[in-house]
Amino acid sequence: MIRCILIAVVLLMGTPALAQPLIIAHRGASGERPEHTRAAYDLAIEQGADVIEPDLVLTRDGVFVDRHENEIGGTTDVERHPEFAARKTTKIIDGVQTTGWFTEDFTLAELKTLRAKERLPAFRPSSAAFDGQEPILTLDEVVAIARAASARTGRTIAVAPELKHPTYFAGIDLPMEDAFVAELERLDLTGADAPIIIQCFEVGPLERLAGRIKAPLAQLVAGAGGPADRPGLTYAEMITPEGLKTMAAYAAWVAPEMTLVLPRDAQGRTTATSSLVADAHAAGLKVVVWTLRAENAFLPAELRRGEGLADHGAMAAYAAAFAEAGVDALFSDFPGLARENLSNH
């Protein structure tokens, strides 16, 4: 019950004194099961995640499905389906040339014939052992997983959907925003107290959503570049004190790449904590960092253990360092480790 109360308070107002950061299961327990699957979400919830995250793209018939990208060659067995071989193509997505199979070229019924696979099999062979077992989920199905788990566990399990490439989809006559608002209204997830955090790297969609719904919005910020819909704006400008004040006019959260909070030097070692968390809190924004992973390849040099990039390092210390830096939430591919590690610090 106490944890449920804390989750509601953080979603609405920020982290209370001494509260642990929320743990957001990044695509589920995606370090241990193929991402964006029921198995990944169920495991994450079992491990104590407060929030589960679906990435949202659209099908040809306008249904929101849960995939890391609209290109699905790396996360499904589509290449093993000869009936879809002719749909392999090359497209420009947010300025990047990408070859593969794309959700917008499939109906939901067709996508439901595919099965998920591990995106990083070289790093996560134990997860790859579950390849071929799970279908692609819709937004509706992910929300149903969260709600069923909330009823089963007595904990509030929130969802954190990310709108992927909305400007691109609008450009191919699959605009996201109206359809997304309609889905949220149907699912009763538009209120200020709804158990949801809506994310996007683009600015315009969040600004427009802020005028239509009261649910919390999170502006994603990468360590380089800028939002695809604002060519003259950089993420670096967005996280200055002035930029954060502007952001706070439409968003409740800023979601920076983790190295923007705990920077690294040329040798990959963590340096002094940046002022981003303090600046964001001063602007009235909560902070959620992405993405904590246990493998050495994704950890700062001083926390790597063993010889291989796939070996697991000291994620415990990394999670604790972000908690000490004052972040309000953490995205992690290993929610069980993150929850256990924070509980031990």
Q: Which residues are catalytic?
A: 26, 68
Give how far Cα 166 sits from Cα of 46, 79, 162, 275, Å. Answer: 32, 26, 10, 30
Element (H, E) at 207: helix 204-210
CA dihedral 141→202→44→336, nearest 10 degrees, is 180
Tokens of 335: 């929610």
Tokens of 136: 């692609």
C-alpha–C-alpha distance, residues 62 and 256, integer Å: 30
Close Cβ partners of 72 (under 8 Å, ≥ 6 residues apart): 78, 100, 101, 102, 103, 111, 114, 136
CB contact at 8 A, 287 and 220: no
Tokens of 122: 């070289």
Tokens of 207: 């600004």
Instruction: Evaluate the CA torsion angle 315, 319, 325, 327 in order and state its sign.
Output: positive
Helix, strand, or coil here: 3? helix
Tokens of 238: 């967005």
Give how far Cα 96 sits from Cα of 38, 91, 235, 286, Å. Answer: 30, 8, 18, 31
C-alpha–C-alpha distance, residues 285 and 291, integer Å: 19
Place of tokens 């937004």: 139
